[in-house]
Amino acid sequence: MSDNPLEQFINKNSERAEEYREIIEDMMGDYDAYHYAESTLLGILEYIDENDPITAAHIQALENIKEKPSESYGR
């Protein structure tokens, strides 16, 4: 690993973005639970693809969505 703090920060954010990319893909695979948030999930995924890091606002949005699956989910 590099001793350069900026490079370490960038690498850490890239790893975090990859972690959340996997979470988003899992959520999108559970269509019944998260279909209502599909456009938001796709938007965050697109942002990660274009910019690499994920923002704190994106993370909060994902946490909010994960906490509230569709009301019809599990019925």
In a domain, 72, yes or no: no
Domain membership of residue 73 (yes or no) is no
The arithmetic mean of pLDDT across residues 8-34, rounded, is: 85
Asked whether residue 13 is assigned to any structural domain, the reply reads: yes
Cα–Cα distance, 1 to 14 (Å, whole number): 14
Degrees to nearest 5, angle at CA 28 with 14 and 54: 20
Q: Say whether pTM exceeds 0.85.
A: no
Question: How far apart are alpha carbons 42 and 25 in whole angstroms?
Answer: 9
Report if residue 74 sits inside a domain.
Answer: no
Total domains, the chain: 1
Residue 1 per-residue DSSP state = -
Domain that holds residue 41: 5-67
Cα separation of 64 and 69, whole Å?
Answer: 9
pLDDT at 8 over 80: no
In-domain check, residue 24 = yes
Which pLDDT score is estimated for 16? 84
Q: Which residue has the higher pLDDT, 3 or 18?
A: 18
Q: Residue 3 gets which letter from DSSP?
A: S
| pLDDT above 70 (res 23) | yes
